[in-house]
């Protein structure tokens, strides 16, 4: 520990702490902008400057280490004036259309003005050039970028994708893909981690609300909505509730109040995914152990950001991906087939909305593979943040809502489905079913949990041995299945490099595209600096949901068993494959922009945007 003085207070802090971290221990918040805990720290904005006795210059508190005996002042007149000047310069070329901005009242730049006591501005520069890039998942507005580079760090250092970076110099600096090309023409995974860390409206999810509002007011459409498991562990944060406070019942009530005809739970389709994916894993293991052809390890396919990244970065390994669609597209396919038939409605008149913690799912639903009989499985995706905006628009008092429930027959789920939202959850849910199907006994572990794959470690490993198996699975007797779990695309690259090199020791790998899994998806409530353990709290909430349910194994879901009995037949059936399975597109690294025809097309689009 080291000892220093901050604003007259004696402070003890661990050696290696920054001044900002030491101040926080003393209950002193230092204003900042580019700093993003756990993601990005480079002191570029200079908002967090402080005065240190014995030093001539003001120092950036987010990067300067606290020293023994140091005397720091965080709010002298000199410091306050410097911050106001820096802020004035930051917004001198920034759009002043706050009222029409998607980040209005949730913008860190806007909030910082209030913190600094900015009542008027004195510096007025030339407005930044307008360049709006709208991809299926992410919308970029370069006018609103303050060059904090948080997004660059998230894309390069956290995810390891490198789709965007700073280009040019000085006033001409811009954060963009290579050659300023659109996101949709480069290797962007559409994961949306850049939108989570962006402090302004420069990077946001592409709007999905207008299509949903239009469908809700269209008398010719029956509008069904489904909600992913991670949403219930984070939605409350948008209304001032504690991170990790589950709002499942309130959320169901709010969706009914918004006017949706059917309110279903993607958790039902998570259980469905386990039966299909578990069956596929057993088929691959059977083939591998009986002399047939099988591609192992099998890799989960629930994360569309991960799928797109794999198609780009590891195009030769796509056969390792499970052929199962993600749960919400499975649900869309079931709604537009089984449910539409059940209630006597033409599937073309069904409009399916997914509420997701993910921006990549906005991209996923427009993939040509995600349709059956000419109907896309899902018609619109809105994020957790967008659902909160819709609830506020309708004037719904969310925190005081009574608990409601999801609708039958696609609203019941087991505890295994809830943990799909956490890293390791899909693997654990799958093994609960696979182990019991093979042995007739519950999976060994602590309260049905496979402890080694729980938590936020980058790469987690475990083994599970099949002993005393059923006669039909005699070939698995004594086999030890080796599994690995990871989240975040940079970590996934480590495992996929092993697969590509033929050195992977695993049979089954789970990959979630966002660090921590869906609880930290690109469409979730943005990072809360005052609650550093928000990921752990959201994870705990979903494990509590799991443990609080009477049925915790997907293959015991009675409504799911009825779906197979009355419609699908059995897991892996011909109809199940038609509706619930898909194929992938090896893309490799994009180089379309080298093609003259593509360049002309992009030039035309840029002209239209400019007009």
Q: Which positions are catalytic? A: 277, 280, 302, 322, 361, 364, 369, 518
- Report the interhelical angle of 384-393 vs 248-258 (nearest 10°): 60
Report the distance separating Cα 611 and Cα 597, nearest Å: 21
Residue in this structure with the two tokens 């901005």, named with its chain if needed = 101
Give me 541's structure tokens: 């909430």
Which residues are 509's β-sheet partners? 299, 484
User: What backbone torsions phi and psi does residue 11 show, to the nearest 5 degrees?
Assistant: -130, 135
Give dist(CA 356, CA 331) in Å, integer.
Answer: 13
Token reading at 188: 């962007």
Please report the sign of the dihedral spanned by the C-alpha atoms of residue 292, residue 298, residue 300, residue 304.
Answer: negative
| End-to-end Cα spacing for the chain | 60
Contact 542, 229 (CB under 8 A): yes
Using left for φ > 0, alpha for ψ between -120 and 50, and beta otherwise, residue 440 falls in left
How far apart (Å, rounded) are the C-alpha atoms in residues 543 and 420? 10
Alpha carbons 230 and 267: distance in angstroms, whole number: 10
Do residues 586 and 318 touch, judged by C-beta distance below 8 A? yes
Q: How many CB atoms lie within 10 A of CB 135?
A: 18
Interatomic CA distance for residues 347 and 480, integer angstroms: 45
The answer for residues whose C-beta is within 8 angstroms of residue 74's C-beta and 6 or more apart is: 6, 7, 23, 28, 30, 50, 51, 61
3-class SS of residue 347: helix
Q: Inter-axis angle of helices 489-501 and 304-313, to 10 degrees?
A: 50
What's the CA gap between 262 and 222, in Å, rounded? 8
At 360, give phi and psi (nearest 5°): -65, -25
Tokens (6 digits) for 610 = 């400019």
Task: Report the C-alpha gap between 583 and 307 in whole angstroms.
Answer: 11
- Whether a cis peptide bond, with omega within 30° of 0, leads into 297 is yes
Contact between residue 36 and residue 19 where contact means Cβ atoms under 8 Å apart = no
- As beta bridge partners, residue 52 has 72
DSSP 8-state code for residue 335: I
Residue 381 CA to residue 398 CA, distance in Å, equals 21
| Longest distance between any two alpha carbons in the chain, whole Å | 81
Tokens of residue 456, six digits: 């936020």
- Give the Cβ contact number of residue 610 at 10 Å: 10
């Amino acid at each position: 520990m080291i000892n220093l003085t901050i604003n007259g207070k004696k402070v003890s802090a661990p050696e290696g702490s920054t001044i900002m971290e030491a101040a926080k221990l003393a209950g002193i918040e230092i204003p900042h902008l580019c700093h993003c805990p756990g993601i990005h720290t480079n002191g570029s904005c200079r908002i967090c400057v402080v005065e240190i006795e014995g030093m001539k210059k003001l120092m950036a508190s987010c990067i300067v280490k606290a020293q023994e005996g140091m005397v720091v002042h965080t709010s002298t007149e000199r410091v306050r004036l410097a911050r106001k000047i820096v802020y004035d310069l930051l917004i001198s070329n920034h759009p002043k259309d706050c009222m029409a901005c998607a980040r209005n009242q949730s913008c860190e730049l806007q909030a910082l003005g209030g913190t600094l006591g900015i009542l008027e501005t004195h510096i007025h520069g030339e407005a930044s050039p307008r360049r709006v890039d709208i991809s299926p998942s992410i919308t970029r507005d370069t006018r609103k970028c303050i060059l904090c580079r948080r997004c660059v760090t998230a894309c390069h250092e956290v995810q390891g994708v490198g789709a965007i970076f700073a280009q040019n110099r000085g006033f001409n600096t811009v954060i963009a893909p290579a050659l300023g090309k659109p996101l949709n023409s480069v290797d962007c995974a559409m994961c949306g981690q850049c939108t989570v860390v962006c402090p302004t409206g420069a990077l946001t999810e592409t709007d999905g609300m207008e299509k949903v509002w239009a469908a809700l007011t269209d008398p010719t459409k029956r509008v069904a909505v489904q909600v992913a498991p991670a949403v219930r562990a984070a939605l409350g944060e948008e209304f001032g509730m504690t991170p990790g406070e589950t709002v499942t019942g309130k959320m169901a009530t709010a969706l009914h109040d918004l006017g949706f005809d059917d309110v279903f739970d993607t958790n039902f389709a998570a259980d469905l995914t386990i039966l299909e994916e578990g069956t596929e894993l057993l088929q691959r293991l059977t083939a591998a152990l009986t002399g047939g052809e099988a591609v192992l390890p099998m890799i989960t396919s629930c994360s569309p950001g991960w799928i797109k990244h794999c198609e780009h970065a590891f195009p030769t390994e796509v056969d390792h991906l499970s052929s199962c669609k993600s749960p919400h597209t499975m649900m869309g396919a079931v709604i537009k087939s089984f449910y539409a038939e059940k209630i006597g409605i033409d599937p073309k008149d069904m409009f399916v909305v997914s509420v997701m913690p993910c921006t990549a799912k906005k991209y996923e639903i427009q993939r040509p593979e995600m349709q059956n009989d000419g109907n896309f499985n899902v018609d619109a995706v809105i994020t957790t943040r967008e659902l909160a905006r819709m609830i506020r628009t309708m004037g719904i008092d969310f925190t005081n809502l009574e608990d409601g429930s999801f609708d039958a027959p696609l609203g019941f789920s087991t505890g295994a489905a809830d943990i799909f939202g956490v890293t390791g959850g899909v693997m654990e849910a799958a093994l609960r079913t696979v182990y019991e199907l093979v042995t007739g006994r519950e999976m060994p572990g602590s309260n049905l949990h496979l402890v080694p794959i729980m938590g936020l470690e980058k790469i987690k490993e475990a083994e599970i041995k099949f002993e005393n198996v059923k006669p039909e699975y005699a070939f698995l007797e004594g086999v030890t299945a080796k599994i690995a779990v990871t989240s975040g695309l940079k970590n996934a690259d480590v495992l996929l490099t092993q697969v590509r090199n033929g050195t992977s020791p695993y049979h089954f790998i789970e990959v979630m595209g966002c660090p921590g899994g869906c609880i930290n998806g690109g469409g979730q409530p943005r990072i809360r600096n005052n609650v550093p353990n928000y990921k752990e709290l959201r994870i705990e909430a979903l494990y509590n949901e799991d443990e609080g349910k009477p049925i915790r194994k997907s293959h015991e879901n009675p409504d799911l068993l009825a779906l197979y009995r009355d419609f699908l037949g059995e897991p892996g059936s011909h109809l199940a494959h038609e509706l619930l399975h898909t194929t992938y597109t090896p893309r490799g690294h994009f180089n379309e922009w080298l093609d003259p025809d593509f360049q002309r097309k992009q030039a035309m689009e840029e002209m239209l945007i400019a007009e």
